[in-house]
């Protein structure tokens, strides 16, 4: 008798009780192999790239990178089968419904979530699931309300306030509760969490290349090989940025070619 195929499930929600409830619902299902959790959008991106789950239960509303930002960051073509979990009002939910993407409206009952999980598994069993998932996520993306991205970052100091144009930023590095903005040869410290800031940057311009680093694609001058399939980016201001293997696929997807 052949071994039963099981699915790797990722639960993404910034509230621990919500993750726990989903985990309990999935725990006794014989089709579930491994259950993984992520408590924010950044962790979700890294987990999807590293673990490659089969099914993702994705909270839409999260601080920093929300659920739709996760899709923007990963790219539609790389997203696993996704069940959205949302507290949006009925009008917003209708948009999901029309896009034929499965969703679960908070608060939900066990039967509703079990039905969503059954549909997700059915899609995985469909040989056309990959193409179907891409088309449906694109429909969702087209129905997404226009999101305004930052075009300037306000830097407040004791005796002055500066405005830095986002397009002039070469890269942004995490520094605890601060970020370091590299603008040419200048390094500017800004009090903001990287996760919150990334969610407000245009994903067509900025790409994450490391857990602690985001790069302006237009600032990349050339690449230098490092070790074990990793490499460094040399930016227009002369700054060197390391690209981790985990986030290399995101850069390749944004550039439209393998590196």
pLDDT of residue 92: 62
Calpha distance 105→93 (Å, rounded): 8
The architecture that CATH gives domain 7-143 is 3-Layer(aba) Sandwich (3.40)
pLDDT band at 1 (very low <50, low <70, confident <90, very high): very low
pLDDT (mean) for 183-201: 89
CA 43, 86, 9, 247 torsion: positive or negative? negative
Question: pLDDT per residue over 83-137, tens digit each?
Answer: 888 887 665 666 555 544 677 888 889 999 989 888 888 887 775 555 555 555 5
CB atoms within 10 A of CB 91: 7
The architecture that CATH gives domain 152-255 is Beta Barrel (2.40)
Q: Are 215 and 234 in contact (CB under 8 A)?
A: no
pLDDT of residue 216: 96
What are the structural domain ranges in the chain?
Answer: 7-143, 152-255
Calpha distance 42→211 (Å, rounded): 8
Find the angle CA(222)-CA(228)-CA(232) to the nearest 5 degrees. Answer: 20
Question: pLDDT per residue over 142-158, tens digit each?
Answer: 555 556 789 999 998 88
Q: Are 51 and 10 in contact (CB under 8 A)?
A: yes
Q: Which two tokens stand for residue 37?
A: 């959790």
Q: At which residue do the structure tokens 């929600």 appear?
A: 13
């Amino acid at each position: 008798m052949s071994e039963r195929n099981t699915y790797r499930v990722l639960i993404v929600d910034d509230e621990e009780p919500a993750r726990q409830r989903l985990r309990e619902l999935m725990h006794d299902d014989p089709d579930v192999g491994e259950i993984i959790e992520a408590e924010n959008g950044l962790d979700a991106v890294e987990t999807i790239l590293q673990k490659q789950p089969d099914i993702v239960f994705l909270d839409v509303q999260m601080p920093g990178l929300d659920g739709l930002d996760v899709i923007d960051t990963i790219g539609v073509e790389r997203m696993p089968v996704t069940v959205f979990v949302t507290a949006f009002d009925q009008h917003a939910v209708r948009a999901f419904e029309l896009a034929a993407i499965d969703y679960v409206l908070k608060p939900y009952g066990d039967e509703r979530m079990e039905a969503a999980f059954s549909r997700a598994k059915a899609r995985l069993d469909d040989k056309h699931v990959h193409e179907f998932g891409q088309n449906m996520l694109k429909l969702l993306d087209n129905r997404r309300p226009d999101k305004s991205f930052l075009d300037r970052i306000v830097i407040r100091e004791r005796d002055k306030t500066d405005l830095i144009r986002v397009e002039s930023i070469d890269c942004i590095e995490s520094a605890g509760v601060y970020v370091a903005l590299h603008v040419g040869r200048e390094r500017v410290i800004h009090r903001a969490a990287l996760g919150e800031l990334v969610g407000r940057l245009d994903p067509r311009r900025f790409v994450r290349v490391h857990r602690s680093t985001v790069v302006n694609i237009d600032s990349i001058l050339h690449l230098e090989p490092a070790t074990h399939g990793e490499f460094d980016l040399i930016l227009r201001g002369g700054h060197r940025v390391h690209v981790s293997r985990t986030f290399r696929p995101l850069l390749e997807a944004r550039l439209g070619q393998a590196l």
